[in-house]
Structure 1
Amino acid sequence: MRVAVAGAGLGGLCLAQGLRQAGIDAEVHERDPAITARFQGYRLVLNPVGFAALRGCLPPRWHPLLDAIVGDAYGERLVLDPQLNRIGELGPGRTGIVVDRHVLRHLLLTGLTVHTGAALTGYDVLDDGRVRARFAEGAPATADLLVGADGVHSAVRAVLSPPTVPADTGVRFVIGRTPLTERFAGLSRAFGSKIAGDGVSLLLGAMRFRTPPKEAAEQLAPEVTLPDVRDYVRWAMILPPGGSPGVRGPREAALSMMADWHPDLQALIEQGDPDNSALLSIRVVRPRERWAPGPVTLLGDAIHATSPTGGNGANTALRDADLLRRCLVDAAEGRQDLIDAVADYERQMFEYGAEAVQHSLAALPAFVPDSKPQRG
């Protein structure tokens, strides 16, 4: 069996690793010109399902390394004012495993065949039931299954399910990261909490590695090369609905809303990494009607993109990867026909994927002043 994966995000790479462990030929095609074309180094919180799915797709010999390079999520989930005074609660404290996307992506890339500069332009289902993916540059790829793991603006989805399109929530946010120095360690009470300002919310999360990733790889898995990343604070500011900051950069956009805020909060944004901050829109993709069974399917944000306020986007993509891996192993070992195996994956994925999107939208109003629950 041969599988072609479009998209080198966490979900697509996790699937490719899982198939590789099972002896199934899998190649990844990424539209970016290089793996490092975009820095993707934000902190993610993995719940037990997402973390178990990730471990299930990685070779057991890497499990000690994975355990060494993650951190622990904890926090009171308070609501604080801009001077860091407690004014409410968001709900029960959140626990889980925190990972750095940049580090995890490098781990997942290890040993895989990844073709960069491979922007998918379409695909054809051949007479023998296989699928041929076409790219703007380079030779086409023929496989038994094409998996669209190519994000919110999926080129695979555009062909497979044209009615399924992204929906813009109208919410904008700025995201960035700042080294976790001694000064910012004093903000620990704010990690996991919401800082409620005048029409904006600031969310902070600490990424503390159990072991520095580069050192952990050298000690536990020398065949893996991980970046030299140190502890940091991930920050995200939800901007006023419909607002458009008339400033030049993401850090300036955040600072323009923080004139009277606590000096440590202002300094946190001022000292943010200029190469790893961005102004983004929150768009979601809801699974719609199922397409006809065939040798093409979707995974992750390509079919169920969630609002980041739900904290379940990466978890759901990893769950997809592990579920599809298990279904494809059944097909490769003759326990199920390939098309039936893919249909079994899609049936389950559509159900929990739709629930994940709705959960994330229901959580959005708690972080956006004067907003109402999103419905759909």
Structure 2
Amino acid sequence: MRVSVVGAGLGGLALAQGLRGTGVEAEVFERDPGIAARFQGYRLVLDPVGFQAVRDCLPTHWHPLLDEIVMPASAEQLVLDPRLNEIGRLGAGRTGIVVDRQVLRHLLLTGLTVHTDAALTGYQLSADGTVRARFARRDPAAADLYADADLLVGADGVGSAVRGVLSPRTTPTDTGVRFVIGRTPLTDEFAGLAKAYGSKITDGGVSLLLGAMRFRTPPRLAAERLAPEVTLPDLGDYVRWAMILPPDAPSGTSPDEASGDLSAPEAVLSRMDGWHPELRALIEQADPDNSTLLSIRVVRPGERWAPGPVTLLGDAIHATSPTGGNGANTALRDADLLRRRLIEVADGRRDQRDAVEDYERRMFAYGAEAVRSSLERLPAFAPGAKPA
């Protein structure tokens, strides 16, 4: 059995990794020119379902390494004013596991066949029930790449090219909310910000969210000791920060608009007049090359498409608002569920069409709920935001 996965994000890689050694041949096709070609995000909190899903997609002999590069999530989820005074509570603190997205992505990449610089331009269904996908290359002299498979999986994000063919009426909705995200090394200078990690800092207009990423062992060293065949990024502890901007934010805060000569950290600092000096120092010391301004768009699972050898996974079919904290968790849940169904097909215990339909039925239900719950939390972080 052959599976072509479009998109080298966490969900697509987890699926491909989970199929290794099962009798299912999986290849990944990524439109970016390289694996590290663009910003991919930082610290994630995986809930018990998401963490178990990624664990089940990995070989068991990598589990000690996985355990070494994560940390428990612990936060009071306070609401603080810009001078770090407590003014409220968000509710019970989240439980789960904190992991760095880049580190996890490199672990999931290990041993996979990944074709970069491969942008899907379309696919054709064959009479024998298989599918042929076509990928364009950036180099005009390079020939298109073709891939034949029993199943094509679109794990290619909010702007999914696979979804554009399979379910063209399922389109992203822009919430109007923007956020700037970045990373700052975690040094002793920021010890006084401990209570702000996991909390919301707000002046009533914009919200700043901080999250600490502390490694038990630096990822590269952990891999060298526990799984030498794995190469992980050489990262140290850091603070992930994100400023969420309301829908009525001034011109120049949209990713599609020019913001003059301001870098992402400078755009945040311009909204922090009078804020606590440690908060300002945190943004001032950020890495400008790994900070960016993003829009919050969602994708709701809509009408089901005709059953066949093409399906969707992750943000391609149920993109959530980051305020829900459930996007990566839901994508990893998809990967594990689809992995299990395809192994049943490879073992002769299930028909492929039935297996994929079962996956889609379950995924549509919990995916729609993930989008709904993420949007329900959005106004608490972006005053004036309305359900998309």
TM-score by length of 2: 0.95
Match of 1:154 among 151, 155, 160: 160
Q: Give the CA deviation at 1:193.
A: 0.4
Residue 37 of structure 1 corresponds to which residue in structure 2?
37
Q: Indicate which of 196, 202, 209 corresponds to 1:203.
A: 209
- The question of 1:144 aligning with 2:156 is answered no
Counterpart in the other structure of 1:129: 129
Give the conservation status (yes or no) of the 8 Å contact 1:21–1:58.
Answer: no
Rounded to whole Å, the distance in 1 between the matches of 2:362 and 2:239 is 35
Partner of 2:267: 253
C-alpha distance after superposition, 1:72-127 (max 9, x if no partner): 21111000000000000000011210110111111000000000000000000001
Aligned to 2:97: 97
Give CA-to-partner distance per residue, 1:213-256, whole Å, 9 cap, x none.
00100000000000110110000001132323455221111000
The SS at the match of 1:120 is: strand
Aligned position for 1:22: 22
Instruction: Provide the rounded CA distance (Å) in 1 between the counterparts of 2:98 and 2:164.
Output: 33
Q: For residue 171 of structure 1, report the CA deviation from its aligned partner.
A: 0.2
Cα offset for 1:41?
4.2
Q: Structure 1 residue aligned with 2:320, among 306, 315, 323?
A: 306
The one-letter code matched in structure 2 to 1:370 is: G
Give 2:4's aligned amino acid.
A
Q: Report the alpha carbon displacement of residue 23 of structure 1 after superposing the two structures with TM.
A: 3.0
Residues 332-341 or 242-251, more deviating: 242-251
Matches within 5 A, 1:179-218: 179-218=185-224
8 Å contact kept, 2:122–2:135: yes
Q: CA deviation at 1:210?
A: 1.7
| 1:216 partner letter | A
Q: Which runs of 5+ in 1 are unaligned?
A: none
**Residue identity (%):** 75
RMSD: 1.0
Q: How far apart in 2 are the matches of 1:345 and 1:40?
A: 27
2:172 to 161, 166, 169: 166
Aligned residue number for residue 7 of structure 2: 7
Q: CA deviation at 1:197?
A: 1.4
Q: Distance in 1 between matches of 2:228 and 2:41?
A: 22
Distance 2:265 2:307 in 1: 46
3-state DSSP of counterpart to 2:20 = helix
Q: In the alignment, residue 232 of structure 2 is paired with which amino acid?
A: L
Counterparts in 2 of 1:221-370, with a 5 A limit? 221-243=227-249, 244-245=251-252, 246-247=259-260, 248-370=262-384
Moved over 4 A (4+): none
Deviation at 1:342, TM superposition (A): 0.4
Deviations 1:281-319 (A, max 9, x none): 000000000000000000000000000000000000000
- Residues of 1 paired with 2:98 and 2:296: CA distance? 22
**For residue 162 of structure 1, what is the amino acid of its counterpart?**
P
Asked if 1 retains the 8 angstrom alpha-carbon contact of 2:177 and 2:385, the reply is: no
- Measure how far apart 1:370 and its partner are: 3.4
Length, aligned pairs only: 374
Per-residue deviation, 1:195: 0.3
* Aligned partner letter, 1:83: R
